[in-house]
Chains A and B, each alone.
Chain A
Amino acid sequence: MASVSLKNVRKNYGAADIIKGVDIDIADGEFCVFVGPSGCGKSTLLRMIAGLEDISGGTLSIGDRVVNDLPPKDRSIAMVFQSYAIFPHMTVRENLAFGLTIANAPKVEKDAKVAEAARILQMEHLLERRPSQLSGGQRQRVAIGRAIVRKPGVFLFDEPLSNLDAALRVDMRMELAKLHNDLGATMVYVTHDQVEAMTLADKIVVLNAGIVQQVGSPLELYHCPVNKFVAGFIGSPKMNFFDLMVESGDDAGLRISGPALQEFSLPLTGAAERLVGKKLTMGVRPHDLYLSGDGPLKGTVILVEHLGNETLVSLSLTNGQAVIVALDGDTECRVGQTLKVGFPANKVHLFEENGNRVAV
């Protein structure tokens, strides 16, 4: 196993900067997830770790070796691709053994390692089949198996579950988590699905436009996002945002008003004076909103989604802004109904105009 360290790593294609100086430390045995919207550079970053993309600047180390200029085969990595990338002209057994065959490993060793990988992934009965005779989930399992067989220092996953259907994705997610526990291996995983990121990761790296927005544990990112981007990206349904004006502030807290809000007080004392007169953005997660007769938010129900365990209600506020409220599964609501909604003061996230979290 091995740690991975990126120091001021950059990537540019001509004048276009794709990765703009990334610093990340991934500890030995850690499950690190790169998450971000399409085009944020997360896959490029993973491919740079793999050695499939050149590094324009900075230092990339795996274990205690700088690997900037090493080819993929010398980096002690294995990679699982979104499209599985298993070889269609080989049987499952040949696919699993590919890396060992290339390395001229003895047949006994090859057979033993293939058998072990097949056992771990429960696909002993598939070994003589060709990829065309496998389902999507089985193919992905072969791709993962091929990675396991070589016992690499670092496993790299590039959106491995994106091509699977929803139910299979949940199953495979659990299997990956179990695999990580069993192998104790360092894993770097790229996804645009924040649920995957939250459920699998020891550490999440949120990327946007080639810049690391925040690095932390799933709950750190959820409870304490450093900026509006992270706040909006992590959590499902998405965090609701409201434009605000801080009217006044004193030892008791801030008086706040906004276009779709009744004026209310927020017991935020540390930064009261600095914030008076400022425009801010308030973020509240749908699960932190509740029905309240004297809540500061008032809107008309435009959509009700009964999910069983919870009910997602979309409200249109007086200024037309849409807000999602996650209520108890048994809550009765109908379209057109007017609701008033409140939130606990300690669940409010405040962001300055530049998007950064208000430091208090």
Chain B
Amino acid sequence: MAQLSADNHGLRLVVRYTVLGLIALIFVFPLVFMLMSSLKPDAQLLSDTRSLRAFLPVGDISLDNYFDAFRRAPVGLFIFNSVIVTGVTVVLTLFICSAAAFAFVFVDWRGRDLVLTLILATLIVPFETIAIPLLLIASKLPWLGFDGLTYGWLNSYQVQIIPFVADGLTIFLFVQYFKDLPGELIEAARVEGASWWQVYRRVVIPLAGPVLATAAILKFLVMYNQYLWPLMVVQEERYRPVMVGLQYFFQLNRAWGEIMAYLSLITVPVLAFYLFLQRAFIASIASTGVKG
């Protein structure tokens, strides 16, 4: 009986890992195709797509496409811009949304539930519907910078950052996580003399690692993949992010190898960021019961 049960267990494991392996392959294939194609000249790239060679580093392999991509577009500048915009937005989002969620969960104030409901309601408003009004507002806003007081935020980093530093989904993630923290920890800190700021900084944030990682990854993906908004508000090359930069490769002499090289270059930071935070990300998805 025990032998039978052990056999069944083994069989189940084999089936499970086979299925998981197949699913993983399906997800990995496009990435492998992209990386392999980025190493091949266009003619070979196109002919290889008819066979499994498309997924293998065979034939005329070189890094030429990468050098050509850098010649065609200021790839480094685009990546730099995206990293700046994404990085600053992620940091500001984590602070602002966690602080907002803290106020919603731990501080008692009049109208709290109504305000939270309104914020969560914004989740169902598609960005495209507010893009034009937002553009009009952004084009007139004042800004105090190195050049003194100016009006209009178009062609800047702040126009790509500030509209996105708070959002309903991230606040919701933090609210859900904070609600699961034991209330007595917060009360204990209050009794010990901590101010709300000290409770936030010394107790709540150190315990919020998993949700910070989740929110960071989700925000990173949204910001790094921004296309419509920067296309609308940035006309100057020096502020252009990676996704808008992709256009350079679809104008005149379309070269698939260069496109694949460019895509490989801009995908690496995302994968690296995800792998860096993966463990915390999965822990948080499991604990908040929210799908990413």
**Chain A: residues with CB nearer than 8 A to chain B?**
50-52, 71-73, 77-79, 81-83, 85-89, 98-99, 102-103, 143, 146, 150
Contact = CB atoms under 8 A, between A and B. Distances in A.
B192 A146 contact: yes
Given A83-B182, A83-B184, A73 B191 contact: yes
A71 B190 contact: yes
Given A83-B182, A89-B207, A98 B189 contact: yes
Contacts of A73: 190-195
25 contacts: A50-B187, A50-B191, A51-B190, A52-B187, A52-B190, A71-B190, A72-B190, A72-B193, A73-B192, A73-B194, A73-B195, A81-B184, A81-B187, A81-B188, A82-B184, A83-B184, A85-B182, A85-B187, A87-B189, A98-B189, A98-B202, A99-B193, A102-B193, A102-B202, A146-B188
Nearest to B108: A54
For chain A, what secondary structure do more than half of its interface residues adopt (helix, strand, loop), or is it mixed?
loop
Nearest to A146: B192
B191 A87 contact: no
B11 interface: no
Given A88-B207, A89-B207, A103 B184 contact: no
Nearest to B192: A99
Given A87-B203, A89-B207, A102-B198, A79 B188 contact: yes
A77 B188 CA distance: 11
Contacts of A150: 192-193
A317 to B, nearest CB: 46
For chain B, what secondary structure do more than half of its interface residues adopt (helix, strand, loop), or is it mixed?
helix
- 10 closest A-B pairs by CB: A85-B188, A73-B193, A85-B184, A99-B192, A89-B206, A72-B191, A81-B184, A79-B191, A102-B193, A72-B190
Given A87-B188, A98-B202, 8 more contacts: A72-B191, A77-B191, A79-B191, A81-B184, A89-B206, A102-B192, A102-B198, A146-B192
Contact of B185 (A71, A87, A99): A87
A88 to B, nearest CB: 7
Interface in B193-249: 193-195, 198, 202-203, 206-207
Contacts of B188: 79, 81, 85-87, 143, 146
Contacts, number: 61
Interface in B153-207: 182, 184-185, 187-195, 198, 202-203, 206-207
Interface of B: 182, 184-185, 187-195, 198, 202-203, 206-207
Given A87-B203, A88-B207, A102 B184 contact: no
A150 B191 CA distance: 11
Nearest to A149: B192
Contacts of A89: 206-207
Contacts of A88: 207
A52 B192 CA distance: 12
Contacts of A86: 188
A85 B187 CA distance: 8
Contacts of A51: 190-191
Contacts of A72: 187, 190-191, 193
Nearest to A88: B207
Nearest to A90: B206
Contacts of B193: 72-73, 99, 102-103, 150
A150 B193 CA distance: 10
B106 to A, nearest CB: 12
B180 to A, nearest CB: 13
B62 to A, nearest CB: 51
Nearest to B190: A72
Best-surrounded residue of B189, B195, B198 (most CB of chain A within 10 A): B189
Given A88-B207, A89-B206, A52 B191 contact: yes
